Amino acid sequence: MGDSNNQFLSDGELVEMRRSLLDWYRQQGRTLPWRNEPDIYRVWISEIMLQQTQVKTVMPYYERWLERFPTVQALAAADLQDVLKLWEGLGYYARARNLHHASQQMVNEFGGVFPEDLEKILTLKGIGRTTAGGILSSARNLPLSILDGNVKRVLARLVALDVPTNQAIATLWAMSDQLIDPEHPRDFNQAFMDLGATLCTLKNPDCPRCPWQQFCQASQHHTPTDFPRKALKKKVPTKRLVAAIAYNSRNEVFIQQRPETGLLGGLWEFPNVEGNIEATIKRLFPDAIYKKSLATVFHAYTHFKIEVEPRVYRIKLVEQKEGWVAIADLHNYPFSKAHLKLLIN
Ligand code: SF4
């Protein structure tokens, strides 16, 4: 493949690949609410939600978000709590905090307008090169390439890349740069993502229907699912936590908020520790009476798993108001997935 200096495809192959992909896209491309959307704010929201999350999961969140925060200004003025609440269940909460933070950057530094200059966009929190390329190609038809998970997988298969994709990032960017159709960058990038999401899937690539089969080394000489090569996985550790569900005679439970930075920042949870919760609960409420333990809850994050044993405590009527929330009002607070599971335990 390829005929000259660092070009992995010949000019003729590039032309043919662009043409065949765009033909396929015009017939088979997905209809998505943010596609052909000229409002760059909306495109930004969709790009961030689609990171690590599938289209069908994103759809209802996207609609609700735009109803609640229709503009950069509305988002910037919102309370972070409300933003997290709307994001609840979508995972990777840093994305919601970054959207909120970046909207305030736009208001403070760019006059409340989404910047259209690549350098400025890259200063916004949570936006890297591929997201910037996705936004500007989609909303403004600018010829900026992308390299999301779907695109990496297709590229690795096209050239039967013999190392994991994280060891060949510069090469993969160069390939995406070469492939993008300078005359139809919006459609090309959208088509590229669709190809990865619908035909060149992780487990069941549908090569006979793929417009790029004749160019694809993995399909022609190997088993496509052998690519991308897997990076050696570290064993995922398990954290064992005990959470205290403390209630009082006003039908309230005690919850606390995590610090705004870090994992699950800004979300609410029951007091919890690794190991013995007794000291913590006695420090908070010296008269706490242990009632019972509930079924252990399990949850997997990207880099670790947790097991949470919920222990229920009765607290005598307390004067202190802070942290006590009526059970009927708990749904107003954004909780992490694991602590949501405790709520319905
Ligand atoms: S031919 Fe198969 S493996 Fe190759 S890009 Fe198409 S779907 Fe993926």
What confidence tens digit (pLDDT) does each residue in 24-71 have? 999 999 999 998 888 999 999 999 999 989 999 999 999 999 999 999
For ligand 1, is residue 172 a contact (CB within 6 Å)? no
Domain match, 296 and 205 both: no
Place of tokens 């600018």: 142
CA of 195 to the centre of ligand 1 (A): 9
Q: Are the CB atoms for 242 and 256 separated by under 8 Å?
A: no
Q: Are the CB atoms for 52 and 247 separated by under 8 Å?
A: no
119 is catalytic: no
Alpha helices in 257-323 (DSSP H): 278-284
In a domain, 1, yes or no: no
Q: Are the CB atoms for 25 and 35 separated by under 8 Å?
A: no
Domain match, 163 and 265 both: no
pTM: predicted TM-score of the whole model, two decimal places: 0.78
CA of 17 to the centre of ligand 1 (A): 12
In a domain, 5, yes or no: no
CATH (domain of 151): 1.10.340.30
pLDDT at residue 196, as a whole number: 96
In a domain, 175, yes or no: yes
The three-class DSSP label of residue 25 is: helix
Q: Which residue's alpha carbon is at the smallest distance from atom 5 of ligand 1?
A: 154
Burial bucket for residue 91 (CB in 10 Å: 0-12, 13-18, 19+): middle
pLDDT at residue 233, as a whole number: 76
Output the average pLDDT for the chain: 92
CATH (domain of 296): 3.90.79.10
Q: What is the pLDDT of residues 106-130, one digit of tens each?
A: 999 999 999 999 999 999 999 999 9
CA of 153 to the centre of ligand 1 (A): 9
For ligand 1, is residue 272 a contact (CB within 6 Å)? no
Q: What is the pLDDT of residues 153-208, one digit of tens each?
A: 999 999 999 999 999 999 999 999 999 999 999 999 999 999 999 999 999 999 99
CA of 121 to the centre of ligand 1 (A): 33
Q: Are the CB atoms for 283 and 254 separated by under 8 Å?
A: no
Structural domain ending residue among the three candidates 226, 254, 275:
226
Domain match, 313 and 168 both: no
In a domain, 53, yes or no: yes
Cβ neighbours, 10 Å, residue 205: 24
> How would residue 6 be classed by pLDDT, with cut points 50, 70 and 90?
low
Domain match, 53 and 125 both: yes
pLDDT at residue 345, as a whole number: 65
Q: Are the CB atoms for 274 and 268 separated by under 8 Å?
A: no
Please state the φ and ψ torsions of residue 91, each to the nearest 5 degrees. Answer: 80, 175
For ligand 1, is residue 200 a contact (CB within 6 Å)? yes
Q: Ligand 1: which atom is nearest the Cα of residue 205?
A: 7
* Residue in 25, 207, 221 to alter for ligand 1 test, most ligand atoms within 8 A of Cβ: 207
In a domain, 6, yes or no: no
Closest listed residue to residue 126, CA positions, set 89, 101, 91? 101
In a domain, 301, yes or no: yes
Examine the pLDDT at 274 and tell me if it is beyond 80. Answer: yes
For ligand 1, is residue 145 a contact (CB within 6 Å)? no
pLDDT at residue 46, as a whole number: 97
In a domain, 4, yes or no: no
The tokens for 175 are: 């390939």
CA of 259 to the centre of ligand 1 (A): 44
Domain match, 150 and 283 both: no
Examine the pLDDT at 339 and tell me if it is beyond 80. Answer: yes
Q: What is the pLDDT of residues 207-223, one digit of tens each?
A: 999 999 999 999 998 88
Domain match, 37 and 116 both: yes
Q: Ligand 1: which atom is nearest the Cα of residue 213?
A: 1
Q: Which residues pair with 308 in a beta bridge?
A: 241, 297
Number of domain units in the chain: 2
Examine the pLDDT at 17 and tell me if it is beyond 90. Answer: yes
Domain match, 183 and 291 both: no
pLDDT at residue 232, as a whole number: 79
Domain match, 169 and 307 both: no
* Residue in 199, 222, 229 to alter for ligand 1 test, most ligand atoms within 8 A of Cβ: 199
Domain match, 247 and 328 both: yes
Q: What is the pLDDT of residues 237-272, one digit of tens each?
A: 899 999 999 999 888 999 999 988 778 888 999 999
Q: Are the CB atoms for 197 and 206 separated by under 8 Å?
A: no
Examine the pLDDT at 136 and tell me if it is beyond 80. Answer: yes
The continuous run of DSSP H or E covering 268 comes out as strand 268-269
Domain match, 35 and 103 both: yes
- Residues ≥6 apart with Cβ < 8 Å to 187: 22, 25, 181
Containing structural domain, residue 203: 11-226
User: How far apart, in whole angstroms, are the C-alpha atoms of residue 91 and residue 49?
Assistant: 10
Q: Are the CB atoms for 297 and 310 separated by under 8 Å?
A: yes
Q: What is the pLDDT of residues 286-326, one digit of tens each?
A: 999 999 999 899 998 878 899 999 999 999 867 777 899 99
Q: Are the CB atoms for 334 and 85 separated by under 8 Å?
A: yes
For ligand 1, is residue 197 a contact (CB within 6 Å)? no
For ligand 1, is residue 216 a contact (CB within 6 Å)? yes
Longest Cα–Cα distance in the chain? 79
CA of 312 to the centre of ligand 1 (A): 53
For ligand 1, is residue 139 a contact (CB within 6 Å)? no
Domain match, 211 and 71 both: yes
Half-sphere exposure of 58 (CA within 13 A, CB side): 17
For ligand 1, is residue 153 a contact (CB within 6 Å)? no
User: How far apart, in whole angstroms, are the C-alpha atoms of residue 271 and residue 321?
Assistant: 16
Examine the pLDDT at 2 and tell me if it is beyond 50. Answer: no
Domain match, 198 and 252 both: no
pLDDT at residue 26, as a whole number: 96
Catalytic choice (13, 47, 88, 252)? 47
